[in-house]
Structure 1
Amino acid sequence: MKKHFKRFRARGVAGVIAMAFAAHAWAVDPFTVRDIRVEGLQRVEPGTVFASLPFRVGDEYNDEKGAAAIRSLFGLGLFKDVRLEVSGNVLVVIVEERPTVADVDFVGTREFDKDTLRKALREIGLTEGRPYDQALADRAEQELKRQYINRSLYGAEVVTTVTPIERNRVNLTFTVTEGEPARIGDIRIVGNKSFSEGTLKGLFDLDTGGFLSWYTKSDRYSRVKLNADLEALRSYYLQRGFLEFRIDSTQVAISPDKQDITITVNVTEGERYVVTGVKLEGNYLGRDDEFKSLVTIRPGEPYNADQVAETTKAFTDYFGNFGYAFANVEARPEVDRVSNRVAFVIVADPARRAYVRRVNISGNNRTRDEVIRREFRQFESSWYDADRIRMSRDRVDRLGFFREVTVETAEVPGSPDQVDINLNVVEKPTGSLQLSAGFSSADRLGLGFAVKQENAFGSGNYLGIEVNTSKYNQTIVFNTVDPYFTTDGISRTIDLYHRRSKPYEDQGGNYELITSGGGLRFGVPFSEVDTVFFGGSLERTEIRPGTNIPAAYLAYGSRFGYTSTNLPLTVGWSRDDRDSAIAPNAGRLQRFGGELGLIGDARYVRSNYQYQQYIPLNKQYTLAFNGELGWGKGLQDQPFPVFKNFYSGGLGSVRGFEQGTLGPRDVTGASIGGARKITLNAELITPFPGAGNDRTLRLFGFFDVGNAFGESEKVRAADLRTSAGIGLSWISPIGPLRIAVANPVRKFPGDRIQRFQFQIGTSF
């Protein structure tokens, strides 16, 4: 028996639209659906199709429902063709699936890592396993071009190749012709009168290029960088009295060949204003004098926007210390344009006092909540305290486990006197497995292996194993730190170590100092910034004689034995408020350490103190000072142990002299260090020419003073060595690198000079 079919068919959007006009030609009489079959499926589940149909078995079918079914199935984005066929009371849905993306590859990409580009395409919906769509491929091309434009590669061309493969899949290949990046050919500032164009352009990180542009990429246009430079320009004027300064327009023009960019900034300086006075109005909680002490706006001086912003922020923060989380503080200028003077009225409304209902933490996928909460000084169900919240945020940031730490205050709906503190963190990897090799002018070739985990299992504890080798020093160290050994924040450190070393001076001998031991140390926080350490260790030191061993080692070994076992007690204190531990620009570091040996073969006391101060002169220049004092003394009629001596000379002390060669020598001429040490350093740190304001690459000029002295020697200023020179500091991918070229200013006969020195990881 011959069957008769009536069918609906639509290809793409045009087919759906056409079907609407051809409804009468394809019309079928309504009927009750006895069965629904789906044909043509490969990867899509049948349930996905059935769920999109506006009817079920047993429902009445008509032309309107058929058109709705086709629209719904096309709306899924999974099919490139949909047909409906009717056989009696059976409805057959015939579909043709879109091909699936099997692989996305890139050819000719040098500027970007392929994973970076794949991530960018994933964000617009194009990735492996997703249905292929030509419109999506076109969007992908535009997204790739946008990524290249962000790198100043305006001439980049992208061609998409679609290769069909088995099982209705396609491979996508994006072939990129990157071309050359567009360079900034000229930067113009128009309308400036009070400051030269050169001075103003010197504020910009963007420039027309130099011999280091390959590293800094400062001659590549970036809208983000330009906005930052414009803000620096605006701040420069507003800090110098130009109250009504404005940037009228910014034009960025690119040459027809897309290789040269010209930036023109049009400004209006306005007049320069002098501050005549500051008045306070509003409610200051009866603490007017306390608030007045926070005012940094100086009458008689040119208007300074930073001082105004600093004052209003200080007022807001101070209100927050008393629980007023919603205080409004406004600095209203009263401008006298005739005499170019301005007075400020600071109006304050503390609004209402608030409690902290809840502290919410988010973003910590690995780190346990308790690790973060124990750093908080703002407690739930207590008055809102802005100072404690800032302190809490800084303490969490100093853990070193997170890339970003942000704190927001949110009102509680329906409770005008309550707020929630929302802390969001972005975690970073805290573990490392390293195999490394390094070379220094002091230690020659050194190999290293290290396994470190600063946040073991999200507990906040530190675990580390280090193995280092060099010609003069081999070290094996295991240590672990529990920062909250007690709930009060007392830390516990366990150290196990084995060190094999000899003085830095190579005399061609094979004598060695071998030290093995372990230590237990506790850190007690006495304030938010001060920590006191105390503990002890069990240590065994062996002087292993060999050829060319210094006479001092032989003399000590002959009198007290070549093997010494001790139980020294240690105590220390630290305070560090530098803005960076690697490339500091401001702040202070103080450290003190003491060691007392009363139990064991050697009886001595040993201490050292270090002080560092960084003073930012402006955005580019920093003045740095470092001082270090070491002092040791033998006890109970014993001399200070020779293996505990301090060494001076070289990087880390007085540059320009060979490492560890200053101070006492024995009869063989070998440098043996001393029981006392003085080191003083001064540095002027500047940007590297051509590197703009990049703090990872900087030059410094320095002046060093220092020496080591024997236990019985008198410390005299006339015996101090001095040197001066220049150096390079670079935060390289393998660690901080410092290179110094020094010229000894004060030297004595027999001093060993080394004008060029470098090392990775050395400070000062």
Structure 2
Amino acid sequence: MNKTFSRFRLRSVAAVIASTLAATAAWAVEPFTVRDIRVEGLQRVEPGTIFASLPLRVGDTYSDERGSAAIRALFELGLFKDVRLDVSGNVLVVIVEERPTVADVDFVGTKEFDKAALQKALREVGLADGRPYDKALTDRAEQELKRQYVSRSLYNAEVVTTVTPIERNRVNLTFTVTEGDSARIREVRVVGNKAFSESTLLDLFDQDSGGWMSWYTKSNQYSRAKLNADLETLRSYYLTRGYLEFRIDSTQVAISPDRTDLTVTVNITEGEKFVVAGVKLEGNYLGREEEFKSLVTIKPGEPYNGEQLTDTTKAFTDYFGTFGYAFARVESQPEVDRTNNRVTLTLKAEPARRVYVRRVSIGGNNRTRDEVIRREFRQYEASWYDGDKIKLSRDRVDRLGFFTDVNVETQEVAGSPDQVDLTVTVAEKPTGSLQLGAGFSSSEKVSFTFGISQENVFGSGNFLGLQVNTSKYYRTISLTATDPYFTSDGISRTFSLFHQTTRPYYTVDGDYSLVSEGGSIKFGVPFSEVDTVFFGAGLERFTFEPGTNVARFTPQAYRDYFQCTTNAGGLINCSENSKWGIPLTIGWARDDRDSALVPTRGRLQRANVEWGVGGDLKYIKSSYQYQQYFPLSKQYTLALNGEVGYGKALGGNVYPIFKNFYAGGLGSIRGFEQNSLGPRDGITEAALGGTKKAIFNAELSTPFPGAGNDRTLRLYGFFDVGNVFTERTGQSDLQWDAQRKLRASVGVGISWISPLGPLRVAFAKPVRSQKEDDFSDPAHPIYKDRMQSFQFQIGTSF
């Protein structure tokens, strides 16, 4: 490798020769009784290590055979490159030369891997700081590094090792890596298919020959793990369509001579298509055969479906688990009639023994307290094993959002066949976020935003968040704190305080503003494992500041609500520019989606009622949202969303204008400016919102062209319809007709789970809108929509 290596090779050869000569010398010594043993040449190795390994002790009789055995035992320690025995009278002298110790391991040229990952890989083959240096170990380390790069399709990676001796018999190891270019998949073939076209089968694969988005998806970079996953997908595709005897005969990966291209060929045998003739149960079903039969999803007369069979056997074992039988076995035995292409399935069950949980242990939570995890568990210690409760417990811990992975393993207790231990292993993730931002514009000059939140404060499971925004148009500061286990029964408590000032975007110097401030407390009561009801109360004050500008820059609706008049100079005076109230809230939520970021199945429901019971604000405001996700296939998902809202003043009061509903933009009706739909002020054209809201969205999510089945980057098409509405009071027939008119849009968009959060971009075209302003009375609201074809937002959910 270099001159340094040559020196070490010579030393190694010298060590072998020396050991051979020493052994020869040892054999020439006449047997004698060992009176003392001395060790010479030690630098870092403890003498006790030598004496513990020697097969000789003081008082033993030394012989040629025992001398040879002593030399072999010391060499087997791997700590010495030379071992000799010398005899001085009746004293046995052990002379050793220690191997160098690895002082540092470094890497040069590694871009594909983090150094920490490579160091971990080398530790697994025995090479790490502080360990003895061995040339053979270095060779294994080079092979391990190359293996790591081959796993990333970098077949041309070269590794050169440099060994640098330093003081105190130590060495520094430097691995210089030339990574080269990764091998690309040039072609993927499926051979032997008859029932389905090759293109249909290749569409199931995550790996392919690449497209224009391969730079992002890396779908054309070969990975054995990804190929195995694709093969399982292919097998599942056939087994769910009746091909009981489908098999993958071989998988051939051919690499080009220059190691830059790969060809993957999958050879299959489809077999015949079988229909299920019937399903039989055999074995011990605890006298609950009818209950188990209700769990069978396999339907006679339909094609054999391996997925249904797997689901049924899993449902059986899970159901056995609810009665404490943690080790129940359920086997499927097919009886194949190849003449008629029919199969009868026999499900044979053996519940084994009933067990209870002795202990629940938790590991991997370096930050999060044990109690935060334990309080989510519904399987208790010293209780009968219950599979449903264990799964529910795992899901509840996972839904905390503090961990990237949650696993629950069951171990038998030695000597106690009726007991098991549960080990919960979690992998923690950062739960805090810090947001800093600054902006500059000619109108705002410099504005700053600051946000800090921690979902797991000091490992307690509590939430604490602070948001600050210094924008000229939207200044706010808010503080929120949540204790999810305010009581031992799981009732949560949330405090929030806020102060914000909003101004119109078209503002001029001295224009109006609305200041809102207050606080609230809210409790969340879990009525079931999936249903939570929220109760809360707050105290709010809203102050209207008309400013010093002329009346033509202030919406008439605000002047009417705060009882403002205009003097001779065009300035506004308000007799009641401050309103305060006590809102009570009650809400309900149920969420069984499979993912909060990229859902493909399940539903989300939310309902909320806000009731103003005190002060100047007497009203009721209610809303309901329903989302449903339908997995049409592995690639396509249909999502439906509906929202309705209704607000009404109580006791002869006027409904607070700042409690209105708004619509338009991302998360609502795309293609229109954000929160711009509904009536506008007849003078300033400011959006006023409405007391009623109705929105419906339909969205079809598909793979992004060239991105394969990557779910972090998706293309979607959508149809949105809806609007916000107000009461008819004071409106002309023309205005009333425009208000009742639903707005609608169609378009396409891109959804990307970016490092900054979920990013959604939409290109929309309104197909139903109010484009012309035909209303001549400026004292009343107008209905003239503001369109916006391109919109994007980070964090939007629909």
With structure 2 as the length reference, what TM-score do the two structures score? 0.88
Question: Structure 1: how far apart are the matches of 2:336 and 2:296?
Answer: 19
Tell me if 1:457 matches 2:458: yes
Please tell me whether the aligned partners of residues 38 and 46 of structure 1 are also in contact (alpha carbons under 8 angstroms).
no
Q: Counterpart of 2:715?
A: 699
Report the count of equivalent residues. Answer: 751
Q: Counterpart of 1:756?
A: 790
Q: 1:456 to 1:17 in 2, by over 3 A?
A: farther
> What's the CA shift for 1:51?
4.6
Tell me if 1:570 matches 2:585: yes
Tell me if 1:182 matches 2:183: yes
Q: Deviations for 1:284-341, whole angstroms, at most 9, x for unmatched residues?
A: 3343333222221112211111111222222222232233333333332221111111
Q: Counterpart of 2:484?
A: 483
Q: Counterpart of 1:20?
A: 23
Q: 1:448 to 1:632 in 2, by over 3 A?
A: same
Please tell me whether the aligned partners of residues 10 and 82 of structure 1 are also in contact (alpha carbons under 8 angstroms).
no
The residue identity in structure 2 corresponding to 1:654 is: I
- Please, which moves more after superposition, 181-190 or 633-642? 633-642
Q: Counterpart of 1:6?
A: none
Tell me if 1:553 matches 2:555: no
Q: 1:348 to 1:101 in 2, by over 3 A?
A: closer
Please tell me whether the aligned partners of residues 493 and 520 of structure 1 are also in contact (alpha carbons under 8 angstroms).
yes
Q: Counterpart of 2:331?
A: 330
User: Which runs of no fewer than 5 residues in structure 2 stay unpaired?
Assistant: 1-11, 565-574, 730-735, 773-783
Please tell me whether the aligned partners of residues 512 and 545 of structure 2 are also in contact (alpha carbons under 8 angstroms).
yes
Q: Deviations for 1:66-90, whole angstroms, at most 9, x for unmatched residues?
A: 5444444433333333344455566
> What's the CA shift for 1:58?
7.2
Question: Structure 2: how far apart are the matches of 1:474 and 1:452?
Answer: 19
**Match for residue 584 of structure 1 among 577, 599, 604:** 599
Please tell me whether the aligned partners of residues 598 and 604 of structure 1 are also in contact (alpha carbons under 8 angstroms).
yes
Question: Structure 1: how far apart are the matches of 2:297 and 2:104?
Answer: 61
Please tell me whether the aligned partners of residues 30 and 63 of structure 1 are also in contact (alpha carbons under 8 angstroms).
no
- Please, which moves more after superposition, 179-188 or 328-337? 328-337
> What's the CA shift for 1:471?
5.9
**Match for residue 36 of structure 1 among 21, 35, 38:** 38
Q: 1:45 to 1:208 in 2, by over 3 A?
A: same
> What's the CA shift for 1:217?
0.7
> What's the CA shift for 1:551?
2.7
Question: Structure 2: how far apart are the matches of 1:412 and 1:366?
Answer: 29
Q: Counterpart of 2:757?
A: 735
Please tell me whether the aligned partners of residues 36 and 57 of structure 1 are also in contact (alpha carbons under 8 angstroms).
no
The DSSP-based 3-state class of the residue aligned with 1:740 is strand
Question: Structure 2: how far apart are the matches of 1:437 and 1:100?
Answer: 52
The residue identity in structure 1 corresponding to 2:793 is: Q
> What's the CA shift for 1:355?
3.0
The DSSP-based 3-state class of the residue aligned with 2:103 is strand
Q: 1:638 to 1:359 in 2, by over 3 A?
A: same
Question: Structure 1: how far apart are the matches of 2:300 and 2:37?
Answer: 89
The DSSP-based 3-state class of the residue aligned with 2:614 is coil
> What's the CA shift for 1:412?
3.6
Alignment of 1:76-87 (within 5 A): 76-87=77-88
Question: Structure 1: how far apart are the matches of 2:87 and 2:538?
Answer: 90
With structure 1 as the length reference, what TM-score do the two structures score? 0.92
> What's the CA shift for 1:475?
3.3
> What's the CA shift for 1:614?
0.7
Q: 1:444 to 1:573 in 2, by over 3 A?
A: farther
Alpha carbon RMSD of aligned pairs, Å? 2.8
Q: 1:540 to 1:33 in 2, by over 3 A?
A: farther
Tell me if 1:144 matches 2:178: no
Question: Structure 1: how far apart are the matches of 2:512 and 2:661?
Answer: 19
The DSSP-based 3-state class of the residue aligned with 1:596 is strand
Question: Structure 1: how far apart are the matches of 2:751 and 2:508?
Answer: 32
Please tell me whether the aligned partners of residues 275 and 302 of structure 2 are also in contact (alpha carbons under 8 angstroms).
yes
Please tell me whether the aligned partners of residues 11 and 82 of structure 1 are also in contact (alpha carbons under 8 angstroms).
no
The residue identity in structure 1 corresponding to 2:716 is: F
Question: Structure 2: how far apart are the matches of 1:470 and 1:68?
Answer: 82
Q: Counterpart of 1:404?
A: 405
**Match for residue 604 of structure 1 among 602, 610, 619:** 619
**Match for residue 640 of structure 2 among 610, 614, 625:** 625
Please tell me whether the aligned partners of residues 403 and 425 of structure 1 are also in contact (alpha carbons under 8 angstroms).
yes
Please tell me whether the aligned partners of residues 702 and 725 of structure 1 are also in contact (alpha carbons under 8 angstroms).
yes
The residue identity in structure 2 corresponding to 1:739 is: V
Alignment of 1:386-535 (within 5 A): 386-435=387-436, 448-468=449-469, 470=471, 472-503=473-504, 505-508=505-508, 510-535=511-536
Q: 1:406 to 1:24 in 2, by over 3 A?
A: closer
Please tell me whether the aligned partners of residues 41 and 98 of structure 2 are also in contact (alpha carbons under 8 angstroms).
no
Q: Deviations for 1:117-140, whole angstroms, at most 9, x for unmatched residues?
A: 222223323233333222222111
Question: Structure 1: how far apart are the matches of 2:354 and 2:60?
Answer: 63
Question: Structure 1: how far apart are the matches of 2:644 and 2:134?
Answer: 71
Q: 1:429 to 1:715 in 2, by over 3 A?
A: farther
Q: 1:399 to 1:706 in 2, by over 3 A?
A: same
Q: Counterpart of 1:300?
A: 301
Please tell me whether the aligned partners of residues 23 and 67 of structure 2 are also in contact (alpha carbons under 8 angstroms).
no
The DSSP-based 3-state class of the residue aligned with 1:653 is coil
- Please, which moves more after superposition, 331-340 or 443-452? 443-452
> What's the CA shift for 1:541?
2.5
The residue identity in structure 1 corresponding to 2:590 is: R
> What's the CA shift for 1:36?
2.9
Question: Structure 2: how far apart are the matches of 1:328 and 1:66?
Answer: 58
The residue identity in structure 2 corresponding to 1:701 is: G
Q: Counterpart of 2:690?
A: 674
Q: Counterpart of 1:4?
A: none
